[in-house]
Structure 1
Amino acid sequence: MKSESTRLNNEYTELKRSVDQYVESLTPVSDHGLDSDWNKAKAGDLPIAETIDLVEKALLQDKKTKENLDKQIAELDEKIADINTLLGQAGEIKKAEEGLAEATKGLAEKQKSLSVLCIALEDQQNKQPQRDAIVQRIVTSKDKLAQYDEFEVLKKNKDIKNEDLDEKTNLKNIQIELSKTLVESIHNMKTEIETLKDAQTQKLKLINLQEKLKEKLESLTSLYKSLSEYETILKELTELQAEYTSASKKAEGAQNKYMHMNQSFLDNQAGILALTLNDGDPCPVCGSTLHPNLATKSEDAPEEADLKKAKKIYEAAQAKANELSASAGEINGKAKEKKESIKIRIMELLGECAYEEILSKVEDSILQAKEEAKYLEKEINSQDERSKRYDELNKWIPLKESELEKVKQTMGELDKLIATLQTDIKNLTESIDKIKQNLLFESKTQAQDEIKQLEKKKNEMQKALESIQKEHTACKSEVDALQGRIKALTEQLKEAKDIDLLSETQKKEQSEERKMKLNDSLSAVKTRIYTNQMALDRIKKQSNVMCEVEEKWMWVKALSNTANGNISGKEKIMLETYVQMTYFDRIITRANLRFMTMSGGQYELKRRIEAENNRSQSGLELDVIDHYNGTQRIVKTLSGGESFKASLSLALGLSDEIQSSAGGIKLDTMFVDEGFGCLDDDSLQQAMKVLAGLTQGNRLVGIISHVGELKEKIEKQIVVTKEKSGGSKVRIVCP
């Protein structure tokens, strides 16, 4: 509502500014009696209604002025028209005199021209026999045009035959060259195929060598691998032997230690037994119950447990040495077996050689075998290409020979066609020569060009005749017309009146100058009428709209002040606050049920009815009633613990009101974050009692707190502990 009021106020202001602009655009009338009103209107000091009345008066005055100017201009137009009539008559007389002189002079000139044209016309009429001869030549030439067509057809046929003959001759020459090429190609192929007959045999021999070399290379590679494995076994044997030596020494030391401890233990058995005898107990050795001289135990005698431990160490070390000895023996057997196998294969592949040279010889033999394998592969590919080429030549030679036969056959057919064409050309030549004897020109085009030239000449002569006839007729007509005009102008000048041309011209100029000034004044008045009328219409329109907007703004402003609590002399309560007050009272009622319980019946919340003053907004302030002393004070006077209980009560009241007012909404979970540390034991007990009551009916209440006493009152807990290394650790406690 407030924004609507502001919008209407802005709209009214904009309309007022628009009306002021239209008033500013008004053009004042030069009237000393209205000058002060015009100045007030321009300054915006004159009310809109009076401004409209002022403009209407000015328009009425301008319209009267316009009527007067129109009347004066009409009278001047009549006067100028009368003068123009006299000036027109004077001009006609002058034109008649000038026309008579001009016509007399022109008649003399035209009569001379007519005499010349009569002579030229007679000359053209005498050329009629020449024109008739040209027409006869045109007819004769046109009759022979058909023979030119036949002549051209024969020439064209001859040219076609000659072209065909040239084409067939060229084809024959091509076939001759092709025949030579084929003969040479077949000869070369047969010569080449003789050199390729052994390609397949050579290829098979090389493949056999390649297989043998492959087997040798595999044997050498296997031997090389066996040598590497033998070296690995020797290395492993050396390591095991070293480990065995170390383990054997360790077992021997452990054995010596154990034997020494065992001997010492046996030597001190009597002393050890004496330690367990008491007076009256029979001796397990002699059976006596008296023990006058007990044996003593040496200080360095080992305990039985230490002896057993030393024995275990000795047995373990001996077992480890035995295990390593067995492994070394097994590896040594493998090494001997591998060495014997390698010697046999060396004899097969390399013959006699020292063991130290075996590895290098095997490597050299492998490299040599690989090089030979590459060479054989290259040679096999070469022989394979020769074999393929041999197969291709066997395929191509019959095809080339067949092609050669076709070429020879084509040459024979071309010879027959060439002979036929030569005969046709000879016959056409004879026919062309025969027709040519009866023709005057080489071609039909030349004959047609000649006909065109003759027709052109005939047309030019005819045009010349017609042109002379036309000019003669026109000139004679002009002579007759000039004679008639001279007669008419002579009669007109006999009846003409005398007119003062200079005087009438001056009168006309004066009248036109007066009319121009009146037109300027009329134009200024019309412009002022148009401008002021347009401005007046817009002022009336905008002022009507402005009144409507002002009226609407006044009552919207009143509603806005009411809704926003801005009515002078009354409490500042907005409509939104008024609605909230109703719900706030219901929330406070529900909250007091918990607050009374948590405060032991001491405190009760109450919404303040009256504001402290009429200048500030009111309606949602909260007070607290202390039932112990019967006072009412502002809620800010509560202590920290009391404020926490009040806040918790309001939150629970809001929850109850939401569930009660909004159908379908059920708050099953509630979390309370901190605030319990400011409560004493009684308050804490009361608060926990209220929260425990909320858990009935499957509602969950979560408490977030650092207060240690709460741990004892809450069974199910999520304990979060901060780690020194960063982060936190979560632990769930659920008894």
Structure 2
Amino acid sequence: MRPLKLILSAFGPYSEKTQLDMTQLGTGGIYLITGDTGAGKTTLFDAITYALYGEASGGSRTTEMLRSKYADAATPTFVELTFLLKGKTYVICRNPEYMRPSKRGAGKETKETAKAELTMPDGGVISGISAVNEKMTELLGIRKEQFTQIAMIPQGDFLKLLLSGTKERAAIFREIFNTRPYLQLQEQLKKEAGTLYNAIKDDEKSIRQYLAEVRCKKESAYADSLENLQKEEVILDTDYCLELIANIMAEDIKIQESVAQKSDDLSAEMAQLDRTLGKQQQREVVEKALEEAKQKTAELGTLASRLKIEYEQAEKLQENNNILTAQIEAEQLALPGYEKLEFILNETGQKKQQLEKEEHLLEKSRQEAQKMKLQREKYQQQLAGLKDSGAALERTAAQISVNEQQCRKTEVLQEKVTQNKNLINEMYRIQKRYIMAAEQLAQAGSIYEEMEKRYFDEQAGILAQNLREDEACPVCGSLHHPKKAVLHENAPTQQQLKSQKEDYDKKTKIRSELSSEAGLAKGRVQSAYKEMLAQYAALISDTHPTIVAGVQDMSNVSDLSHLSDSEEASQEQMIDVIKQVSYRTQQAAEALADEKQQLMVQKARLEADVALEQKISGQLPECEKRQKELEEEVAERTSRISVLKTEGEALKKQADELKQTLKFENAEAARQSIAQKVRQKEEIQQRAKQAGQQYQDCKIKLEAEQRRVLDLTTQLKSGEEDKENNESNESGKKYGELLTLRQEKEVCQKQYQNEKKELDLRIAVNERAAGAVKKIAAKSSEKEKQYQWVRALSNTANGALSGQDRIMLETYVQTAFFDRIIIRANTRFMQMTSGQFELVRAKTADNLRAQSGLELNVIDHYNGSIRSVKSLSGGESFKASLAMALGLSDEIQSQTGGIQIDTMFIDEGFGSLDENSLEQAIDVLLRLSESNRLVGIISHVGELKERIGRQIVVTKTPDGGSHARIVADN
């Protein structure tokens, strides 16, 4: 993917429409994005990432922040990117959600919804955020997170790819190299093993549940064994469980047979007793029934006599029904007159209600008409007072806009003051480190000189020990040695002297480096100081009345501006000037803030007045119209009331005349009288019918009881012989004694039955438990075999083997890609470090409990050590990160049908490199032109500005926004 043209409109600091023809930058090599601090260099990266994915490149900027606060309200916000992918040209345009002026009313705002549109090479258009996002991910082959790690590295994110652990790298490689199927296989194996394990545990739980149901007698020889088996901590042995249940069941079956035999014998004895008791009980029942029948016959005879008298009396009352019938007919003929009266009275009531309603509505209409009149007069008065509020609102809004521009100037100047303070502090810190390094170097030099003198003195002493009289000295040739050099007790060894020399050389190098850093820091301070004074001069030259009033005697500081061109401005002078500028700028900011607060209050009041004026202007015609309608309504209701009064009086006169001809007050009273007479007639008829029926029923019951007395008397006489036989049965025992004996045998029989039920239930439960345990155990055995080999596969694939590195199957596959990335990265990393460092994948894990396989180490060829990349210095880490990013990009594009990234973007990082490292990094990036890859760099490093001719220069505009242009110095 290579950008061809980028268009920004009201996006970030770019308040106006900005077009960048990126084809001017070429198709390979590097170009620089440079300009003022805070002008919006990183925003260009945000714009490209937003166009591709709908999100900014950095995590700190959201789409809600993308609308430019410097843009005119009518300027639309959008980003349009034309890019080349695999030889085809695409155009994508997006805009975020933001508030814009409404087209339907002045001063109103409406929400502009977020949109996205992708134009395909064939001219087809895909619209909608979801559809475009899906298509862009399909075209590019990676999501936004992977894109920012291999193609567009935001400020602060450069080290993420280098320092990521196995887990983070695995997530990156999963999408890039499509290793998700291996992860899915791992998870499926782990899930299957877990499912089998849970199934085995469920089977064990089920077996224990069935074992908990097994019962036996407390006196049983197997009771203790069963109690021990039912404990949770006991390891299950299904064969032993089944054998124990079988023994318990056999014991219960033997007891069951004995109880059944005893119960059968007792049942035969109880049957004989029942036959004897039945005969004695039958005679007692007959005697009792005969006595009851005689008593009931007497009662029915008395009742029949009484009912006969009542029946005869009811028959005589039937003669009064003829009189009631005549009265009912006469009253029914008069009912139509009552109905007419009710109609007239109803009409009269309705007329009265209508009259009351109309009178009420008439009064209400009069009140509303008066209210509308007063409201209309009030609206007219208010409109007169709000006549000039619109023009005043426009003037206030213009003043607020000017105020905001001035506030922004003070904010920018305060940021510059803060930057100056930070740079001076940094310069002080480096100067202190330089002074300390110089002192340490002087101390190391003194120590080295002293050690060197003692070392050479010691060498002379050693030589003198071997001199003999009359033998020539190897140094001077003398044959006589009157004063030999002597050995020193604390003389250093050659190795100690060499070590001290290395320490001295190292401190010399450190002092030199800090001297260079101090010079650079001083240059940065002077550059920033000049920029601050320039912005300060621009501020005090402003004629805005609030600034003039807020910054008292600010012009007196203008004479300090000559220091921006002087190299002799001392640090104390600069600090004093910075303090004065900060103080007086704060005065201006506070004055502007106070003015803005007053203007906002005034604006709010005027907006309320304008809204009220518009509201009243719309309501006044409606108020006048409503007043006229109400006045017409009052006249109409007055006429209607007069008609209702006349009609009501006529109806009242008709009702009075009709009432004089009727017996009852109304129809309801007449109907009640008729209904009462009908009920009296029906009651008389019903009473006669009911009395006759009761008398006949009583006669039938009396005859039946008389026949029953005769039958029972005959039955009792025929049973005298049986009574004599019963008195001599069961060895002379009487009925009561036999009944007691029967009850005792029944209690014993119930005990046998309960014992038999308990045995039946226990045998059935134990038999069911044994069958269930046997069935579950058979299935669980097969699951256990399957679980063993599935668990072994899962542990291997998920890197969970005991005592082994935790390398998962997916990670193992990814190591092949990782090794190739490292090889590609080392071709550049070793070049940038002059062969000192080489990246290598860690072969063993530091921690056997964490995921491993994708950790990264570095070989230091100067001392042969292997250590973690996290131990590299800031500059070394930057070079390693750059090499890894380039290696990953190379490997991705080498895959058949893989992702094609022809452009790379880097935001800062070069400031951590020394002069030699910077030269090496630039050389590596310049060689990318051979692979037809274009790399964009954001940096403030001066060497880069001099070395790189192709640039995108971003500058701030007077209104607080930014402007970008391409400088293609090829």
- TM-score w.r.t. structure 1 length? 0.48
- TM-score w.r.t. structure 2 length? 0.38
Structure of greater Rg:
1
